[in-house]
Amino acid sequence: MKTVALGKTGLTTAELGFGAMYLPRVSPEVSDIIIRRALELGVTYFDTASAYQDSEEKLGRVLSRRDKDFVITSRSINYKMGLAAFRQDFEQSFERLKLPVIDFYGFHAVNQPRELEMAMKEPLSFLKEQKANGRIRHIAITSHNPKTLTDALLTGEFELAMFPFNVIEREPLDGLLPKAAELGIATAVMKPLAGGVIDSKQLALRFFFNHPAGVVTPGMMSIEQLEQNHRVFAERSPLSAEEMGCLEDEVAVLGREFCRRCSYCMPCPNGIMIPFVHMLHMKTWGKPMDDDVAYTIELAKRMLPALEKCTACGACVEKCPYDIPTPQRVKDLIQMLQSV
Ligand code: SF4
Ligand code: SF4
């Protein structure tokens, strides 16, 4: 696999990184096997976060027993709750990972300007102290909003920026990626498969050989996914114009308002499983009836009493980095389910 430099930090990594967001879905034993295989295949960059349930713990089970031949990033979203909560997450990351030093530690989901302001106060001073005393090597920031993230990079405080970038979400090409390159800031791609909504996964990953963007970290939770992704990055074959056209045709039907299943909108105060609502909506709304659609509608019918609890409070819309109109989709589904 190609080796990429992580900005001006002096660190390098294989271009394919490991997104550990989905590790909580597998047992510790399975997770151990996947992480060991990733290392065997030459994967050296691991991305996790305190919000990803036991993901840090699972990485720590394997990585803490190795010589330091990998790079790890973790982050906390609790800068939004003040320094005490952020500090607690920070210490917890060390306990879970069982590592003496974390390469990159940072702020998770800094999407809005007011969130950047919060991060830049005591939480940033705290991370600078931790960097000075050697517990972390570099300070990172992640965001779903290229404009906020570009503003953050211009402060000169961050050494790694992580953001969604894929064939559907290409905004980082306009300002963020060139600015990061100009400033020598490392870049890490999240959601390279747009949250799992692209069926042509290999083509979607090959998009990054046409548009290199640092380390690419698809979420992985099986050996099969890992080995498939590794094969694509080992062959490193850019998309032809024809293949790019096929991929663009496939994603055109999704538009921009599609759920990336990130769960930032959760929990719903009324217990509605919002990512599942969007999956049901995507698979049924406006689709001609066939066996698959009929099956999904039957599944959705069981959710009708839960859907009817939606008060359209808008809390989910406020938390969604993509402005997905969840209350409207819930309403659409209720209407459809009541009419079939
Ligand atoms: S609008 Fe509906 S789905 Fe969204 S948080 Fe409120 S009750 Fe839950
Ligand atoms: S509605 Fe928005 S926040 Fe919720 S899972 Fe989908 S993309 Fe993520």
pLDDT, residue 263, reads 78
pLDDT band at residue 259 under the 50/70/90 scheme: confident
Which is the closest atom of ligand 2 to the Cα of 263? Answer: 5
Q: Is 216 close to ligand 1, i.e. is its CB under 6 Å away?
A: no
CA 164, chain centre distance (Å): 7
> Could you say which ligand is closest to the alpha carbon of residue 256?
2
The predicted model gives 171-184 an average pLDDT of 96
* Burial (Cβ within 10 Å: 0-12, 13-18, ≥19) of residue 169: buried
| Chain region(s) in the chain for CATH 3.20.20.100 | 3-250
Separation CA 14–CA 45 (nearest Å): 7
Does the predicted TM-score (pTM) go above 0.85? no
HEC profile of the chain? CCEEECCCCCCEEECECEECCCHHHCCHHHHHHHHHHHHHCCCCEEECCCCCCCHHHHHHHHHCCCCCCCEEEEEECHHHHCHHHHHHHHHHHHHHHCCCCEEEEEECCCCCHHHHHHHCCHHHHHHHHHHHCCCEEEEEEECCCHHHHHHHHHCCCCCEEEEECCCCCCHHHCCHHHHHHHHCCEEEEECCCHHHCCCCHHHHHHHHHHCCCCEECCECCCHHHHHHHHHHHHHCCCCCHHHHHHHHHHHHCCCCCCCCCCCCCCCCCCCCCHHHHHHHHHHHCCCCCCHHHHHHHHHHHCCHHHHCCCCCCCHHHHHCCCCCCHHHHHHHHHHHHHHC
> Could you say which ligand is closest to the alpha carbon of residue 270?
1
The predicted model gives 155-174 an average pLDDT of 95
Do 171 and 145 touch, CB atoms closer than 8 A?
no
- Does 266 score more than 90 pLDDT? no
Four-CA torsion 158, 160, 161, 164, nearest 10 degrees: -160
List pLDDT tens digits, range 247-258.
999 988 777 788
End-to-end C-alpha distance for the chain, whole angstroms:
51
Separation CA 263–CA 260 (nearest Å): 8
Q: Is 196 close to ligand 2, i.e. is its CB under 6 Å away?
A: no
* The token pair that represents 299 in the structure block: 């599944």
Nearest CA to ligand 2 atom 8: 262
pLDDT band at residue 150 under the 50/70/90 scheme: very high
pLDDT, residue 252, reads 86
Which is the closest atom of ligand 1 to the Cα of 327? Answer: 1
List pLDDT tens digits, range 182-240.
999 999 999 999 877 788 999 999 999 999 999 999 999 999 999 999 999 999 999 99
Do 51 and 108 touch, CB atoms closer than 8 A?
yes
Q: What percent of the chain has pLDDT over 70?
A: 100
Cis status of the peptide bond prior to 267, with omega within 30 of 0: yes
> Could you say which ligand is closest to the alpha carbon of residue 111?
2
pLDDT band at residue 144 under the 50/70/90 scheme: confident
pLDDT, residue 223, reads 98
Higher pLDDT, residue 89 or 195 = 89
- Does 267 score more than 80 pLDDT? yes
Q: Which numeric CATH code is attached to 3-250?
A: 3.20.20.100
Q: Is 311 close to ligand 1, i.e. is its CB under 6 Å away?
A: yes
Q: Is 13 close to ligand 1, i.e. is its CB under 6 Å away?
A: no
Separation CA 158–CA 33 (nearest Å): 33
Task: Quote the ligand 1 centre to 168 CA distance (angstroms).
Answer: 26
State residue 12 phi and psi, 5-degree precision. -130, 165
List pLDDT tens digits, range 20-66.
999 998 999 999 999 999 999 999 999 999 999 999 999 999 999 99
Separation CA 243–CA 271 (nearest Å): 42
Task: Quote the ligand 1 centre to 330 CA distance (angstroms).
Answer: 9
Residue count of the chain: 340
Higher pLDDT, residue 71 or 279 = 71
Separation CA 194–CA 203 (nearest Å): 13
Other Cβ atoms within 10 Å of 335 Cβ, number: 9
pLDDT, residue 201, reads 94
The predicted model gives 145-174 an average pLDDT of 94
Four-CA torsion 50, 11, 228, 221, nearest 10 degrees: -10
Nearest CA to ligand 1 atom 7: 310
Phi-psi region of 149 (alpha: psi -120 to 50; beta: other; left: phi over 0): alpha
pLDDT, residue 58, reads 98
Q: Is 130 close to ligand 1, i.e. is its CB under 6 Å away?
A: no
